[in-house]
Chain A
Amino acid sequence: MDWERGLVSKAAYSAPVISLFNVQGSNRLTFAFSDALNPVAMSAGVNEETAAFRCGVKLFFEPSAPMRLYEATLRLDTRDVPYYECLNDVQKWWAKQPGYTPAYVPEAARMPMYSTWYSFHQQLSPEAVEQQCLLAKALGCEAVIVDDGWQTSDHMRGYAYCGDWEVCEDKIPDMKAHVARVHQLGMKYLLWYSVPFVGYKSKNWSRFKDKLLKTIDSLQTGVVDPRYPEVREFIIETYEQALVQWDLDGFKLDFVDSFAGTEETVHKEDSAMDYKGIPEAVDRLMSDIIARLRAIKPDILIEFRQNYIGPLMRKYGNMFRATDCPNDAIENRVRTIDVRLIGGDTAVHSDMMMWHPDEPVESAALQIVNALFSVPQISVMLDRLPESHRQMLRFWLAFWREHSDVLLEGSLKPAHPDFLFPQAVADNEHKKIVCAYGDILVRPGGDRSKQTWIVNGTLNHRIYLELDDAWGTKKLAIRDCQGHLLEQTRIDLNAGIHRLSIPPCGVAALTD
């Protein structure tokens, strides 16, 4: 009896890799497949009789383009090294495959952003968005992502009115002027599109209703079939026109993972289609989108959402965001770290952070602290927050910007995936940042970097630190979650266990 524990990956869904590890986080077997385009079913399930893992890679269980030759490589890594090193090596291996070179990541993709989704939902107005941008810029955000709602007067959620992509003039009478005003505030402007959706109530429904991969009644929308060149051209021209007419800086491209057919449509044959396989057509569409948009603006920002964060997606986009998890700091931690593990240099973003304005400020700070290893996206009405929350945001966004060189670009070591990463460390040659997310004994490793920040990502009022080697005498500065300096002293850090009185969501700096 073999237990099947598997996943399916393809161009716009997941990634073909499985890592088996022990409770100390050491790799035991990490296997990855070179073909991230076609549907690949990977599995590693225990065989009851032998206690061995039956591992498998299944190919061509969905229709694909006809071929004479197919070549691919399975990579098996059994080295006794931390699991995250193996996964990082896998992403480097993928990035070297022909045709998988990741897209250029502009510096703007690595700066905090304000998102309208949880704060406005579909009830957008240019004046209100600009007001939030003014406040967000002062707190450290450098771009705004205007989400669903700009294209419809409907406030009922769902996607029935997607697919025409005409600005709703009742809400935003002059989009170009609105974008220009945001630019004057020093913010870049990204606009949301649900790439494959043509809603039941859109004008384009009649145009594309016979060129669909499927319909999703719960979302009131059809999913267009990219095997039709007419479909691809419509999508790309829509973005080109918006980019030029409104002087956008980027796009939040949603629901790319919905490009999936039904049993009926995957086998569809139509002379108007120029691709037989859906993955190849998605690849062509996404490749053409970024190529044509970059031809207009070389620094174009393209955000994708988790699930389509695999190695091929890195060549079509430069920002990967955690899947929606509103007001869920822990889930945001897990998702951002998951994406970071195979994300390489692509800018990994948090899900938009939101919380109740009546939260204790320490609880609100959990939202930021749990997603420190990703680019923060903030999505609360900033003028409706108490001043303590704004001060907390100001402090943590400033901390994040000061240390993004290590938080984003340092070597990331997330411990214990089996316990949802209760500790994560990022370091480079000059500094180290250690985050504790559980009531654990924090083990920061050595003192090579000489400057270490210990972040208390819990609601406890202390952290216990265990040092394998003596760090010597250090300057200690402890701040609370709003950045207030609580203690400044010197501390002898011998090998062993030390109690640091770091308040909830506060931070201690240990420097020479």
Chain B
Amino acid sequence: MLASELYDCTLHSDPYMFRLTGCSEQFRGSLSVSIDSDGVRLIHIRLESETLQQPPTIELTWYHPGIDIQGTCTQAHIDPEDFTWIGSGGSFPKLLILLPS
């Protein structure tokens, strides 16, 4: 077992196994679960340190069965800083690619 794995924590909430990695002796993590009135699952992350410090990079992961899933919806769009402007003066800014959500 790696030293860092000593501080990983897991939480089983059927059908998921949640795993929190990246915690350390200085910054300990814990997970808990609750279910709201709509049946929506809430996973609570808590990180604690005895001293004031910047937390390490941590990641919460789990697996979801890829059953009857065909699309993904996010709010990822093109940065305006990345617009490519064709020509100068009176030309219009031109997006080189159109990115659906």
Chain A interface (Cβ within 8 Å of chain B)? 5, 7, 9, 14-15, 17-23, 28-29, 42, 44, 46-47, 50-61, 63-79, 83, 87, 89, 118, 121, 155-157, 216, 218-219, 255, 257-258, 305-307, 309-310, 323-326, 328, 331, 334-335, 338, 341-342, 417-418, 420
Q: Does the CB pair B59–A58 fall under 8 Å? A: yes
B101 touches A334 (CB 8 A): yes
Closest 4 pairs between A and B when the two form their complex, measured CB to CB: A19-B73, A70-B47, A74-B43, A52-B63
Are B64 and A20 within 8 A (Cβ)?
yes
The answer on a CB contact under 8 Å between A157 and B89 is yes
B80 touches A307 (CB 8 A): yes
Known: A28-B64, A47-B63, A52-B64. 13 other contacts (CB 8 A): A14-B77, A19-B72, A23-B70, A53-B64, A67-B55, A71-B45, A73-B44, A76-B41, A77-B41, A307-B77, A328-B98, A338-B77, A341-B73
Q: What are the residues of chain B within 8 A of A77 when measuring CB–CB?
A: 38, 40-41
Give complex CA distance A265, B65 in Å. 41
Contact residues, B58-74 vs A (CB, 8 A): 58-74
Please pick, from A71, A307, A324, the residue contacting B46 in the complex, using a CB distance under 8 A.
A71
Q: Is B55 in contact with A64, judged by CB distance below 8 angstroms?
A: yes
The residue of chain A having its C-beta at the shortest distance from the C-beta of B44 within the complex is: A73
Among B62, B65, B88, which residue has the most Cβ atoms of chain A within 10 A? B62
- Cross-chain contact B65 with A83 (CB below 8 angstroms): no
A142, B49: Cα distance in complex, Å: 54
**Distance between B63 CB and nearest chain A CB, rounded to angstroms:** 4
A427 to B57, CA, bound (A): 44
Shortest distance from the beta carbon of B27 to any chain A beta carbon, whole Å:
9
B55 cross-chain contacts in A, Cβ below 8 A: 59-60, 64, 67, 70
* B74 neighbours in A (Cβ, 8 Å): 7, 14, 17-19, 42
Contact B65 A324 (CB under 8 A): no
B67-101 contacts to A (CB < 8 Å) = 67-81, 83, 85, 88-93, 95, 98, 100-101
Return B9 CB to nearest CB of chain A, in Å.
Answer: 14
CA distance A457 to B94 in the complex (A): 24
B10 CB to nearest chain A CB (Å): 14
Q: Are B58 and A323 in contact (CB under 8 A)?
A: no
Chain A proximity of B71: nearest CB distance (Å): 4
B residues within 8 A CB of A51? 65-66
B90 pairs with A60, CB closer than 8 A = no
Chain B: minimal CB distance from A287 (Å)? 22
Cα of A263 to Cα of B52 in the assembled complex, Å? 23
Name which residue of chain A comes closest to B73, CB basis: A19
Listed residue (B40, B42, B59) with the most chain A CB atoms within 10 angstroms of its CB = B40
Could you say which residues of chain A place their CB within 8 Å of the CB of B81? Answer: 216, 218-219, 255, 258
B64 and A60 form a contact (CB under 8 A): no
Q: Is the CB of B75 within 8 A of A338?
A: yes
A60 touches B56 (CB 8 A): yes
- Interface contact B45-A7, CB-CB below 8 Å: no
**What is the CA–CA distance of A58 and B60 in the complex, to the nearest angstrom?**
6
User: Contact: B69 with A29, CB < 8 Å?
Assistant: yes
A417 neighbours in B (Cβ, 8 Å) = 71, 73, 100-101
- A329 and B93 CA atoms in complex are apart in Å by 16
- C-alpha spacing A52/B15, complex, angstroms: 12
Contact A67 to B61, CB < 8 A, known contacts A219-B81, A325-B95, A326-B93 = no
Q: Is the CB of B49 within 8 A of A67?
A: yes
Chain A: minimal CB distance from B35 (Å) = 10
**CA A324 to CA B77, docked complex, whole Å:** 11
6 residue pairs A–B, Cβ–Cβ below 8 Å: A18-B72, A20-B69, A46-B66, A53-B65, A64-B54, A157-B85
CB–CB B76/A7 < 8 A: yes
- Please state if B100 and A66 are interface contacts (CB–CB under 8 Å): no
Cβ of A22: which chain B residues have Cβ within 8 Å of it? 68-71
A57–B59 CB distance below 8 A: yes
Residues in B10-51 with C-beta less than 8 Å from chain A: 16, 38-51
Known: A67-B52, A307-B79, A323-B80. A55 touches B61 (CB 8 A): yes
- B45:A73 contact, CB within 8 angstroms: yes
Q: Is the CB of A157 within 8 A of B62?
A: no
Enumerate chain A residues within 8 angstroms of B59, measured Cβ to Cβ: 56-59
The residue that A324 contacts in the complex, of B50, B71, B93, with Cβ under 8 A, is: B93
**Given A59-B59, A71-B44, A417-B101, A44 and B72 contact (CB-CB distance below 8 Å):** yes
Cβ contact within 8 Å between B49 and A68: yes
Check B60 against A56 for contact (C-beta < 8 Å).
Answer: yes
Q: How many angstroms between the C-alpha atoms of A22 and B73 in the bound complex?
A: 11
Closest to B19 in A: A56
For B79, list chain A residues within 8 Å (CB).
257, 307
User: Which of B38, B50, B61, B98 is close to A331, meaning CB atoms less than 8 Å apart?
Assistant: B98
With a 10 A CB-CB cut-off, give which of B43, B56, B83 has the most chain A CB atoms. Answer: B43
Please name the residue on chain B nearest to A54 by beta carbon: B63
By a CB distance below 8 angstroms, the chain B residues around A255 are: 80-81
The reply to whether B73 and A18 contact each other, CB–CB distance below 8 Å, is yes
CA of A79 to CA of B101, assembled, Å: 22
Q: What are the residues of chain A within 8 A of B48 when measuring CB–CB? A: 68-69
